[in-house]
Amino acid sequence: MKKRKLGGEFTYAGVIIFFITIALIIQIAVLIYDYIIQRTTDKALIAVLMLGVIAILAVLCTVVDVIRRRITIDRPVKKILTATERIAKGDFSVRLDIQSPYGRYSHYDVIMENINVLAAELGKSEVLKTDFIANVSHELKTPLSVLQNYAALLQDSGLDEETRQRYAKTLSRAAKRLSDLITNILKLNKLENQEIKPEFERFSLTEQLAQAALAFEEVIENKNLVLDCDLDDIQIVSAPSLLEIVWNNLLSNAIKFTEAGDIIGLSLKVKGGAAVVTVSDSGCGISKETGAHIFEKFYQGDTSHSGEGNGLGLPLVKKVIDILGGEISVASEVGKGSAFTIVLKGNVYA
């Protein structure tokens, strides 16, 4: 937020005006007293007249002070109260009009400006929340309707064994999709709320990457892909359970967006004291337009694959890398393939 000149409660001009006012009032009282004693010697009358004069001056001062308070305190406080009440009721469209003559801000102006920022931020997260709910509901709908339809179909007792098997497989795929979606949402939610604390330890990154690739061996073989591993022997201090999420998602994407005969590359090198992991593929590649959104929740660029996955893989990857203080970059060319590079700095033992 901008740094600005704060006026308000204490200003030298205010102190001087206050001083002059008090001096003026005392001066007026003295002059009136002088005027009275020149005209009468009746002590009781002087006392009564002076009492009256003091009372009138006091009332005058009080009125001036009340007006000053109304303008400088009550008005902004009332504005702030109304705004906070509206925010408390869920109206985030509140924006306070800040009037600071001569660029001098009072503390109330700063509070009002902060309220404006707060309301704007709350409004933004409200939009994110509703978008998120809409996305989740949408993602839940497809597998749920598959479950419903195929469960109904399976109830037909006249089904032959092959059809029954096919329906059961479709059912279990839909159930897996649902469970993957929920697992990913929960994981992302926990990472965002900092409920998952990274547990750092020294481990072999080489070993972990090899294990991750091995887990996909069958899928790679079935799809007739070629896996090209080039892993240097490197240990790092990081959070292995979190990094596992990264490798699994990047490898599964590489496999998903490639065709038979394509190459999946996995490399680990040390560059400038950092561990650099690259997961590449010679698949369909990512266009510039798609590339701008791939780290957004629920974004799926390639609609022909949208039956698989839920667009939460890369947001999860990005979150983990952010938490671990690493860097992620993507290089891709449509029709030629993509390469995701992760740089993990510090505590690298080659």
Ligand X SMILES: Nc1ncnc2c1ncn2[C@@H]1O[C@H](COP(=O)(O)OP(=O)(O)O)[C@@H](O)[C@H]1O
Q: Quick check: 324 and 344 in contact, CB under 8 A?
A: yes
Helix, strand and coil in the chain, % to nearest 5: 60, 15, 25
Looking only at the bridges linking them, the beta strands covering 263-271 and 274-281 are antiparallel
Which amino acid would we find at residue 37? Answer: I
Q: How far is the CB of 318 from ligand X (least distance, A)?
A: 9
149 binds, among Mg ion, ligand X, none (CB under 5 to 8 A by kind): none
Q: Which is nearer to ligand X, 149 or 290 (CB)?
A: 290
x/- string (CB under 5 A) for Mg ion, residues 252-291? Answer: -x--------------------------------------
Residue 301 tokens, joined: 């660029």
- Distance of closest approach, residue 317 Cβ to ligand X, in angstroms: 7
Report the interface residues with ligand X, using CB under 6 A: 249, 253-254, 257, 281, 283-286, 290, 294, 299-302, 309-314, 338
Q: Which of residues 290-309 bind Mg ion (CB under 5 A)?
A: 309
In this complex, which beta carbon is closest to Mg ion, that of residue 253 or of residue 332?
253
Tell me how far, at minimum, the Cβ of 150 lies from ligand X, in Å: 22
CB 173, min distance to ligand X, A: 15
C-alpha 253, offset from chain centre: 25
Closest to Mg ion by CB, 191 or 234: 191
How many CB atoms neighbour CB 324 within 10 A? 19
Residue 302: name its binding partner from ligand X, Mg ion, none (Cβ under 5 to 8 Å by kind): ligand X
Residue from the set 76, 143, 301, 313 that interacts with Mg ion by CB under 5 A: 313
Length of the chain equals 350
User: How many residues sit close enough to Mg ion to count as binding (CB under 5 A)?
Assistant: 3
Q: Between residues 293 and 345, which has the closer beta carbon with respect to ligand X?
A: 293
Query: Which conformational region is residue 237 in: left (phi greater than 0), alpha (psi within -120 to 50 degrees), or beta?
Result: beta
> 205 is in the binding site of which of Mg ion, ligand X, none (Cβ under 5 to 8 A by kind)?
none
d(CA 89, CA 241): 42
For Mg ion, the closer CB: 76 or 311: 311
Question: Of 181-189, 279-287, 291-299, 310-318, which part binds Mg ion (CB under 5 A)?
Answer: 310-318
CA 126 – CA 90 distance, rounded (Å): 9
Query: Which CB atom, from 76 or from 309, has the smaller least distance to ligand X?
Result: 309
Q: How far is the CB of 309 from Mg ion (least distance, A)?
A: 4
Binding to Mg ion (CB under 5 A) within 224-253 occurs at: 253
Give the residue from 239, 295, 236 showing the smallest Cα distance to 268: 236
Nearer to ligand X, 84 or 290 (CB): 290
Separation of alpha carbons 254 and 278, rounded Å? 11
Residue holding tokens 């009032």?
25
| Pairing mode of beta strands 263-271, 226-231 | parallel
The rounded distance, in Å, linking the Cα atoms of 124 and 119 is 9
- 143 binds, options ligand X, Mg ion, none, Cβ within 5 to 8 A by partner type: none
**Shortest Å distance, C-beta 316 to ligand X:** 8
Location of structure tokens 């995701």:
340
Contact between 325 and 345 under an 8 Å Cβ cutoff? The reply is: yes
CB 288 within 8 A of CB 252: no
How close are the terminal C-alpha atoms of the chain, in Å? Answer: 44
The tokens describing 79, both together, are 């504005």
Residue of minimal Cβ distance to Mg ion: 313
Min CB(74)–ligand X separation in Å: 53
For ligand X, the closer CB: 167 or 257: 257
CB of 250 to ligand X, least distance (A): 7
Q: Which residue's CB is nearer to ligand X, number 32 or number 263?
A: 263
Q: Which residues bind Mg ion (CB under 5 A)?
A: 253, 309, 313
